[in-house]
Amino acid sequence: MKLWDKNIQTDKIIEQFTVGKDRELDLLLARFDILGSLAHIAMLQQVGLLGKTEYDALRNELIAIYHIAETGAFVIEEGVEDVHSQVELMLTRKLGDAGKKIHSARSRNDQVLLDIKLFVRDALQETVAKTVSLFDVLLSMSNEYKTVLIPGYTHLQVAMPSSFGLWFGAYAENLVDDLRIIQAAYRIADQNPLGSAAGYGSSFPIDRQMTTRLLGFADMNYNVVHAQMSRGKTERVVAFALASLAGTLAKLSGDVCLFNSQNFGLLTLPDELTTGSSIMPHKKNPDVFELIRARCNKIQALPNEIDHIWNNLPSGYFRDMQIIKESFLPVFAEMNSCLDMAAYAVSKIKPTDGVLEDERYRYLFSVEEVNRLVLKGVPFREAYKQVAVQIQNNNYRPDTTLTHTHEGSLGNLCNPAIQAKLDEVLQVFDFKKKDVAIRKLLDNSNDN
């Protein structure tokens, strides 16, 4: 079944090539396509394009199909082109010609636009929750190990004292910045394109404000050409936000792999989090963090991939957009899997005791000695030279006393302030509005 069928036989090779992976990927969009149809038929009935009896029958059947999709039992049958066609076919089988009326004032263009935006809203909500879980682990570890000192490095050279409190807390605050970017991406997705049809609107007297309200969108894409142009751009913006988050996880994982190596030995992973070598009996490899790093580096390439497909297209719809779905829709499962694994694995990290007792870190406190001289009235450049001469003459003896007090330093991590930052960001996400609207749309006792 094809919604565009004109009784012309399509070459099977062409059909297979053009459908591509749509039937497989559209299963991810099934629930959202049905939600869009529920809002659309409510609006059609309101403006007089559907009778009340037809509307009630369609609504009941769509809710039944939604519950099938919710359980994972929804399938796109052989010979059916996509999710839109499958839903319409199921309605028509049950309700006859009434099932064919749901496509009035719609195009598959604005259907898939809507499906993707509804999908993104739900997917980002899950990603935000998993990011918060990782944040909680990192901040907890920062508080637990705030007094455990480790060497800080610049140019991979021993530099100045750091701590596990600083290290864990740094990644927690990094996640807050990532959530700010996700928040901006969510706002781009949280705009209703339904009613733009093929990209140029409709001569039917549709009510786009109504579908915006029924689906819990914060706003709509008003200009219908702009609505169509948001296809590709929305995915790119969201991919960029996910890439930022992935970058944080990749860097965290890289640090763990480095710090876990024998040459650094700053932390250890429990045996059950590592894998062995087929020929080297002593090996305990941090494969979990290596795979998180690799998967997150792959995610960071996604905005560029989308850009190359979308950026040079003129305005209006092009089939090129279909290819974006192949990389974009599955990325959330991969991102969320990495977040889950990172939260679990990071919580198992154990700092190594007595790291700074190693001779290689004897110069770690040299800057502290310079600062002590400055506090006694020695000009900074002179104090620097005095300590440098001590090091050159092998007369330097480190004083490991630390008195860092400023905000964000070793002695003042400001973790409550970082927690407050997160809380502020989370308040801006308006997930409740979306959730309430969707529950209402699916409530059989409610007449929209």
pLDDT digits (tens, 9 = 90+) for 31-76: 999 999 999 999 999 999 999 999 999 999 999 999 999 999 999 9
> Is the confidence at residue 6, as pLDDT, over 60?
no
Tell me the pLDDT of the chain averaged across its residues. Answer: 91
| % of the chain surpassing 70 pLDDT | 93
Interatomic CA distance for residues 195 and 209, integer angstroms? 10
Render pLDDT for 359-375 as a digit per residue (tens, 0 to 9).
889 899 999 989 999 99
> Is the confidence at residue 446, as pLDDT, over 60?
no
What is the model's pLDDT at position 403? 85
Question: What's the half-sphere exposure (Cβ side, CA atoms, 13 Å) at 50?
Answer: 28
What is the model's pLDDT at position 333? 97
> Is the confidence at residue 23, as pLDDT, over 90?
no
Please tell me the CATH code under which domain 108-357+415-441 is placed.
1.20.200.10
User: Could you give the 3-state DSSP secondary structure of residue 240?
Assistant: helix
Interatomic CA distance for residues 395 and 335, integer angstroms? 52
Q: Where are the beta strands (DSSP E) in 111-270?
A: 149-154, 157-163, 191-192, 219-220, 267-268
What is the model's pLDDT at position 18? 61
Confidence of residue 253 (pLDDT cuts 50, 70, 90): very high
> Is the confidence at residue 8, as pLDDT, over 60?
no
The set of residues, in sequence order, having a beta carbon less than 8 Å from that of 220 and lying 6+ positions away, is 191, 192, 193, 195, 208, 209, 212, 227
Residue intervals of the chain classified under CATH 1.20.200.10 are: 108-357+415-441
Nearest to 315 by CA among 238, 235, 236, 226: 226
Render pLDDT for 375-407 as a digit per residue (tens, 0 to 9).
999 999 999 999 999 999 998 888 888 888 899
Confidence of residue 282 (pLDDT cuts 50, 70, 90): low
The CATH class that applies to domain 12-103 reads mainly alpha
Query: What are the distances in angstroms from CA 300 to CA 111, 133, 228, 340?
Result: 28, 21, 26, 18
Q: What is the mean pLDDT of residues 198-219?
A: 96
> Is the confidence at residue 107, as pLDDT, over 70?
yes
Confidence of residue 1 (pLDDT cuts 50, 70, 90): very low
> Is the confidence at residue 95, as pLDDT, over 90?
yes
The set of residues, in sequence order, having a beta carbon less than 8 Å from that of 376 and lying 6+ positions away, is none
Q: What is the mean pLDDT of residues 258-271?
A: 90
Confidence of residue 140 (pLDDT cuts 50, 70, 90): very high
Report residue 196 as tokens.
């733009």
Report residue 412 as tokens.
């003042």
Under a CB-based contact definition with an 8 Å cutoff, are residues 115 and 25 in contact? no
What is the model's pLDDT at position 12? 67
CA of residue 94 relative to chain centroid, distance:
39
Higher pLDDT, 5 or 50: 50
> Is the confidence at residue 4, as pLDDT, over 90?
no
Residue intervals of the chain classified under CATH 1.10.275.10 are: 12-103
Q: Which of 16-30, 193-207, 284-298, 423-437 has the lowest mean pLDDT?
A: 16-30
What is the model's pLDDT at position 447? 57
**DSSP H stretches of helix in 200-260:** 208-214, 224-260
- Report strand pairing: 219-220 vs 267-268: unpaired
User: Could you give the 3-state DSSP secondary structure of residue 280?
Assistant: coil
What is the model's pLDDT at position 280? 65
Q: What is the mean pLDDT of residues 280-293?
A: 82
> Is the confidence at residue 421, as pLDDT, over 60?
yes
